[in-house]
Amino acid sequence: MTKITLKTEAGYEISTHIFEPVSPGKSVVLILPANGTKQTFYSNFARYLKSKSHIVYTLDYGGIGESKMNDLHSFDTSITNWGKYDLEAVLGAIKNNHADKRLVVIAHSMGGQIFGLAPSSLSADKLIFVAVPSGYLNFWTGIDRMKMILTWNFLFSVLPKLYGYMPASKISGLEDLPKSAALEWKKWCLSPNYLFDHIPVEELWYDQIECGLISYSIADDAYAPKQAVDWFTNCYRNCSTVRRHFDPKSLGISTIGHSGFFKKSNSNIFWPMLLNDIEE
């Protein structure tokens, strides 16, 4: 694995890991992380794809993991910047280094939400989405909706202003988030059309992406209800789309959850399936 640093047009640098086999095949796979998730979470999966002759790129968004160049008290960026600038920097590097390769993007959660903010998203030959929902809170019901109301109207309203960043690691399994990213996420999740209520249409590329898209949802995923995944998948309206929904019981396992596709404990179930998606 090789580590590189890319300068973004937002003015900061991001960390990117490259997994390159000795004899690469025809595809480059870009793995886009969920919000508040380090790229190292996907490293075992990336090594698996490398063993199958695929070049793999991962990244940390600005302020996350190895892209946290400064204390979050002195560094700030937004989720919009992650899409427009962080993803654009990585897509540009892939284009420069592997212009002859097919580009497959595997996006987890937030990664799929912001992919259409990058102008070079049009270069993708195939998209594979895992648990990519709208975050609008009305997609949740019952006690889960009450938790979302508390999360967005209290935790994400008060804590970023109190700390100067979002101390997500203190209350969840997420990494701490830059202040503007946290406040923007809250704003999106309180809006019926999510990010589309806040970003000018001329800065959106979703409608111009025309490749194949496979979109997965999981029955026991508390962070991406099926109907929320349906909604966001439809935002890529000019893609040729296949929707797949999994219940862990049908697979003979107790749980999958929001991140189970990428865990080594589930590698015998999901990794060959994703490999097949990449290669078909």
Structure pTM? 0.97
Q: What structural domains does the chain harbor?
A: 2-135+208-279 (3.40.50.1820)
Strand 27-32 and strand 13-19: pairing?
unpaired
Q: How many CA atoms lie within 13 A of 83 on its CB side?
A: 27
Higher pLDDT: 133 or 24? It is 133
Q: Residues 122, 220: contact at Cβ < 8 Å?
A: no
| Strands (DSSP E) found in the chain | 2-7, 13-19, 27-32, 55-59, 102-108, 126-130, 165-166, 177-178, 212-218, 240-246
DSSP 8-state symbol, 257: T
Express each pLDDT in 167-199 by its tens digit.
999 988 899 999 999 999 999 999 999 999 999
Q: How confident is the model at residue 172, as a pLDDT?
A: 87
Express each pLDDT in 41-72 by its tens digit.
999 999 999 999 999 999 999 999 999 988 89
Tell me the C-alpha distance between 100 and 2, whole Å.
20
